Amino acid sequence: MEQYFSEHLLEWYETAKRDLPWRRHRDPYYIWISEIMLQQTRVDTVIPYFHRFIERFPTITDLALAPEEDVLKCWEGLGYYSRARNLQAAAQQVVELHGGQVPSDKAAVSALKGVGPYTAGAILSIAFGQPEPAVDGNVMRVLSRYFLLEDDIMKPATRVRMETLAARLIPEGRAADFNQALMELGALVCTPKSPSCRACPVMEHCQGRLAGVETQLPVKTKAKKPRPEFRLTALVEGTGAEEGRVLVRQRAATGLLARMWELPHVPAVEDQPGEGGGLPDGPAMDRLAAALAAEGTPARPLGPYMEAEHTFSHIHWNLRVFRFQQAEACDASTGLMAAEASAAYEAAGGDNAGGSAERAGAGAAGTAPQPVTRWITREDMAELAFPNVFLRILNQYFDEKEEGEL
């Protein structure tokens, strides 16, 4: 039954395999880049990023020497941005330790940043033909159905067991094709919702199918729902020297969306997770104005602009966006000087969660650290990496501004 599986799967792969950019060469660098991009990400999404990435960073050395912001910009919109940071750190490892060549040694490959058990197996087998298993979600789904395995695939121990099984199934000298065939079957035929069993090369001996339980496999504990977060967001239009520009800030070096750029935003409410974003516009804008002043950019509220939502795996953001106009040091709407507004905001328990400082502020001791900020035009967006939600807001704003709708 096992030999049948491997032979028929390989035969099917010969004719069914997709023509993918990283399958056109055997370049270990291309295989590596593609495998990192494919973590948690669909093939169709990855393809344009892959082309852009290898055009911008043709060799490992190019990647190692590039400014980090360039790498992040190239990854913009792809998500899980630590992958990009780890990838560049790993490229530097490869240059320093392995002369710029992807190592073919298992321990060395596994030691690269961002390379875990799956990616190590994929690189070793696909790029170097070594008989290592490469067990991802597709593979676990296929194996759990074919062998009717009811272990919870969310448990790490299950992946280890699947690796043992997958390793045994690799035909002599065929690791590269076999591992890709396994994943290709999961992606094209043995799909999560309604598998195309009639098109499956190994249907005859599929234990899950024979038992009529294929759609109930693999067994998998459900993920928790993302917790909602309500945030007030400021779209501050520059005046005077900054006329025609919008204020953006850079996020902290670690954590969510590390080092990416965003519009300033603060929690709508503190310590009331169930309360939602029900704060009336007036108080909401006052709160935002105080936060902006505290960050060194006093501004006058113009009114509500739009709402936006963004879902991460663990957080659901509800953003209420307000327009502001850059003010002088004395905030006309509150009558407070910037420093007083700042103090008032701090006293009220304000924070700039996620936007905290990358460098200490230039102010006197006791001043809260200031985030790095910039006044940008639409053209400046080409060099700064933004999460999708802010890309949407900024593009809509600049579009409407251009059309004279604002």
* Binding-site ranges for DNA (CB under 7 A): 39-42, 44-45, 77-82, 86, 113-120, 136-138, 140-141, 155-157, 186, 192-193, 220, 222-225, 255-258, 310-314, 387-389
Query: Which amino acid does the sequence have at 148?
Result: L
Q: How far is the CB of 154 from DNA (least distance, A)?
A: 8
Do 301 and 289 contact (CB within 8 A), yes or no?
A: yes
Length of the chain: 406
Q: How far is the CB of 103 from DNA (least distance, A)?
A: 15
Q: Per the residue annotation, which of 7, 35, 307, 400 is the catalytic one? A: 35
CA dist 228 and 316 (Å) reads 5
User: CB count, 10 Å around CB of 299?
Assistant: 28
Do 150 and 217 contact (CB within 8 A), yes or no?
A: yes
Task: Give the position of tokens 């009811």.
Answer: 150
35 in active site:
yes
Q: How far is the CB of 121 from DNA (least distance, A)?
A: 8
Peptide bond between residue 218 and the one before it cis (omega within 30 degrees of 0): yes
Do 357 and 369 contact (CB within 8 A), yes or no?
A: yes
Task: Give the position of tokens 């004279």.
Answer: 404
Q: How far is the CB of 255 from DNA (least distance, A)?
A: 4
CB closer to DNA, 57 vs 81: 81
CB closer to DNA, 73 vs 245: 73
CB closer to DNA, 139 vs 341: 139
Q: Inter-axis angle of helices 156-169 and 175-188, to 10 degrees?
A: 120
Burial profile 227-238: b = 16 or more Cβ within 10 angstroms, e = fewer: eebbbbbbbbbb
Sequence-ordered strand ranges (E) for 280-314: 299-311
CB closer to DNA, 324 vs 390: 390
Task: Give the position of tokens 């060194």.
Answer: 296
CB closer to DNA, 77 vs 363: 77
Q: How far is the CB of 63 from DNA (least distance, A)?
A: 16
| 301 to 116, 251, 319, 376: CA distances (angstroms) | 48, 23, 16, 19
Catalytic residues: 35
